[in-house]
Amino acid sequence: MIIKVLERFRDFVQNLPLWTKTVTWTALFIQLVSFMGLRTSKLALSWSNVFQKHLVFEVYTYVFLHISLLHIIFNLVSLLPVMAKFEKEHGTFACVFITMLPYTLFPAFMHLIFYRFIFAKESISIAGFSGWAFAFISATCIHNPQGPIQNYIPKHWIPLIYLFITTIFVPYASFIGHASGAAAGYATPYIFEHIPLKLWAEKVDSIGSRFKGYQSYDELAYASLPIAEPSTGNPKFPGTGTRLGT
């Protein structure tokens, strides 16, 4: 039974678009390394590590680190449907750009600023994909407000409801990380409106199209930012010393 589940999961991941598949395998590899007893805690993001130990790479690596098996499972369930849909609709370049710049750096900077200057807890770290999940769900809701519950709850409020539930019921969840991710998602159309995405994507697509699963830029899809349905929630699993998600 377990073997069949693992085989189906492997097949599912292999059919994902290139960037979504890459980040999935990267996170799973780091989780495997952690299970083997190797120290991966330095991949989590904290003020003390970045500014006192000069581990600047943490502003990117923290999203790939998860503190437990349940943590990574829940985050993948939340993230993969919306991220894969976005990449298929808008291209791999757009997906890489939006994840590795606003969706990663904005929550990272907000965490560093708040935990250094407001909470004065420099050693508190964050880790996980959940900031990305909040970002993609927010981008989806703000650009595709039509849905089965629109007559009861405005769709653009859904990420905020998720945020409230997660903050109240999930211990150690990072409110700052999740809220920053949601804010970055809401800002997605404004970001794309002010960058020459088509020009950049066309230059990269000629090279990227050589790789299996690479999704080329689609101007029509870009004009309809994004249309994935946020069908999953964003549960987290608490861990010691590290805020869950962003």
In one letter, which amino acid is 174?
A: S
pLDDT at 226: 45
Please give the residue that has the higher pLDDT: either 92 or 241. Answer: 92
Q: Which domain holds residue 146?
A: 2-244
Question: What pLDDT was estimated at residue 234?
Answer: 41
| pLDDT number for residue 115 | 96
Q: What is the pLDDT of residue 147?
A: 60
What is the set of active-site residues? 130, 178
* Per-residue model confidence (pLDDT) at position 146: 66
- 178/102 Cα distance (integer angstroms): 13
Q: Give the residue-averaged pLDDT of 155-183.
A: 92
Tens-place pLDDT, residues 40-79:
999 999 999 999 999 999 999 999 999 999 999 999 999 9
Give pLDDT, residue 231: 41
pLDDT of residue 143: 73
Flag whether pLDDT at 159 surpasses 70: yes
Maximum Cα interatomic distance, the chain, rounded to a whole number of Å:
51
Q: How many domains does the chain have?
A: 1
188-204 pLDDT, tens digit per residue, is: 999 999 999 989 999 99
**Please, which pLDDT band fits residue 220 given cuts at 50, 70 and 90?**
low
Q: Judging by beta carbons within 10 Å of its beta carbon (0-12, 13-18, 19+), is residue 32 exposed, middle or buried?
A: exposed
- Per DSSP, helices labelled H in the chain are 2-14, 18-35, 47, 58-61, 69-90, 92-100, 102-113, 130-143, 158-169, 175-186, 188-193, 197-208, 219-222
Q: Provide the 8-state DSSP code for 169.
A: H
Strand pairing of 242-244 and 125-127?
Answer: parallel
What pLDDT score does 228 carry?
40
**Percent of the chain topping pLDDT 90:** 67
> Global pTM?
0.85
CATH of the domain at 213: 1.20.1540.10
pLDDT tens-place string over residues 72-122: 999 999 999 999 999 998 999 999 999 999 999 999 999 999 999 999 999
